[in-house]
Chain A
């Protein structure tokens, strides 16, 4: 059963209301749908998660050298030892939070602020640091050096 529409010309007032309504409807729907559509597109930089980060590329470091990389909002230190092994540690000194570095002469991690010394497993060896540096796991994935940390559940 088809429904018949009401006959007769639409009064101008009503037309105006319908136009404004229609216009408002379209404009508001666009202003809601546009952000959602943009949201659905994944950003260029994928979220690898808080657990791991690409610290560098193979070949970037010479043996017995280091680089500082970002892990979340804190610095990390990646060392390539003279024997060709990668080690990664948290780079925030446990004494007063200065950023540590790798001493190529001592083959150990060192803090310039107050002469604190750590070995390559992160253990605080001498000087003021009261606690070791957190160690991270390093895996080489193709050309990328991936540093990850295990956290308890």
Chain B
């Protein structure tokens, strides 16, 4: 955003009700974008709420009209996009200054920015990259905790996508522009937007915010490990770690993708056509065999869980109470989940251990389901017997009535 030297003749429309003279807003509220700033807009800005004004960043004299308001003698500053990080950093990197307003706020944003891809390219003269105001907005800048802030977790993906999904804008930067499309299809995005889970990762969780840069190829799993600890640990100890490093393949993202991370299907594993293992492994090599074995193990327990579920539903539909069996089923499902994590060790025997534990529990639930159905049958038999007794009684009564009325 370049502020050109715009000599405009401002017509004073009444300053009715203005406490402090602010010729900046008086003029600029009547201008068109990109120069338009209204008092309502600026009132939303956290800087305004902390007592800062136009002068704090722009200098100048708000008590005067143009051209004195924006004169050099009044201290008016002009700056280009390249100047903005340093301008914001003037206050935000000054710990002593920031302590006066918000002691717990970090003051390393500028130094982080300088390590980021954006910062490095800006230093080389590329002004298309993001500077502070592109992400944080300007003149109506809100705290990131505010859900309307452009950098609130719920809004971060959209903010990044403004540039990164714009193929035209990104021309010449040699990186793909499908990240946002992929991410909105992902399980993390669904967690964020559908469940409102603010702990779900957004762009900045994996890439950093001020120090934004892609994670290193052989350290991707460290990033995923912040939440997916077990999977990362098993991967690190597995044969894939060195193999991927040697092939310059990123850890988790090779199988799970980086942005379009969908909820994994058991078909992702194994030797079928949806599997990712066959991308590298072919029939005959030990990896191929391990993939097939592990898939078969998961399928074993999965089938059992599904059949027990069907059994319990049948029991419930006929009116039997099987909540305890359902609780046991939950434990069997937990075992299946654990097995689905253990596959990252690439060792079928380890997976088999978890599966066997789950099968045992599932068998108990199956027993409970069968017992429920047996109980149902017992009740129906009992009902049949009592209905026969009742029928005899009713017939007996009918006959008896006929007899006594015959006389």
B-contacting residues, A5-42, CB 8 Å: 11, 13-14, 16-18, 20-25, 27-28, 30-32, 35
Residues of B within 8 A of A24 (CB): 389-397
Q: Are B393 and A70 in contact (CB under 8 A)?
A: no
Residues of B within 8 A of A104 (CB): none
Q: Are A20 and B389 in contact (CB under 8 A)?
A: no
B-contacting residues, A62-110, CB 8 Å: 70, 73-75, 95, 98-99
Closest residue to A68 on the B side, CB-wise? B331
A149 to B123: give the CA distance in the assembly, Å. Answer: 61
A69 to B56: give the CA distance in the assembly, Å. Answer: 62
**B101: interface (CB < 8 Å):** no
**B326: interface (CB < 8 Å):** yes
Residues of A within 8 A of B399 (CB): 16-17, 20-21
Of A21, A25, A73, A129, the residue contacting B327 (CB under 8 A) is A73
Q: Are B228 and A114 in contact (CB under 8 A)?
A: yes
**A112: interface (CB < 8 Å):** yes
Counting chain A residues whose Cβ lies within 8 A of the other chain, the interface size class is: 20 to 34
Q: Are A17 and B229 in contact (CB under 8 A)?
A: no
Residues of B within 8 A of A23 (CB): 392, 396
Number of interface residues of B (CB under 8 A): 38
Q: Are B393 and A99 in contact (CB under 8 A)?
A: no
Of A14, A98, A130, the residue contacting B337 (CB under 8 A) is A98
**A132: interface (CB < 8 Å):** no
Residues of A within 8 A of B386 (CB): 28, 31-32
**B377: interface (CB < 8 Å):** no
Q: Are A21 and B227 in contact (CB under 8 A)?
A: no
Contact A98/B334 with A18-B400, A20-B396, A21-B393 known, Cβ cut-off 8 Å: yes
Of B198, B323, B338, B396, the residue contacting A21 (CB under 8 A) is B396
Residues of A within 8 A of B326 (CB): 73
**A128: interface (CB < 8 Å):** yes
Q: Are B227 and A115 in contact (CB under 8 A)?
A: yes
Residues of A within 8 A of B228 (CB): 114-115
A/B pair count, beta carbons within 8 Å: 90
Residues of B within 8 A of A35 (CB): 382
Residues 363-407 of chain B: 1 if any A CB is under 8 Å from the residue's CB, otherwise 0?
000000000000000000010011011111111110110111000
Residues of A within 8 A of B273 (CB): none
Q: Chain B's nearest CB lies how many Å from the CB of A97?
A: 9
Q: Are B334 and A25 in contact (CB under 8 A)?
A: no
A109 to B334: give the CA distance in the assembly, Å. Answer: 17
**B94: interface (CB < 8 Å):** no
A114 to B191: give the CA distance in the assembly, Å. Answer: 13
Residues of A within 8 A of B334 (CB): 98-99
Closest residue to B401 on the A side, CB-wise? A17
Q: Chain A's nearest CB lies how many Å from the CB of B253?
A: 18
A22 to B396: give the CA distance in the assembly, Å. Answer: 8
Residues 205-229 of chain B: 1 if any A CB is under 8 Å from the residue's CB, otherwise 0?
0000000000000000000011111
Residues of A within 8 A of B200 (CB): 128
Going nearest first, the 5 A-B pairs with the smallest beta carbon separation are: A24-B393, A128-B199, A21-B396, A27-B389, A24-B392
Q: A20-B396, A115-B227, A130-B198 are in contact. List 5 more A-B contacts (CB 8 A).
A: A24-B393, A24-B396, A28-B389, A112-B341, A128-B197
Residues of B within 8 A of A (CB): 197-200, 225-230, 323-324, 326-327, 330-331, 334, 337-338, 341, 382, 385-386, 388-397, 399-400, 402-404
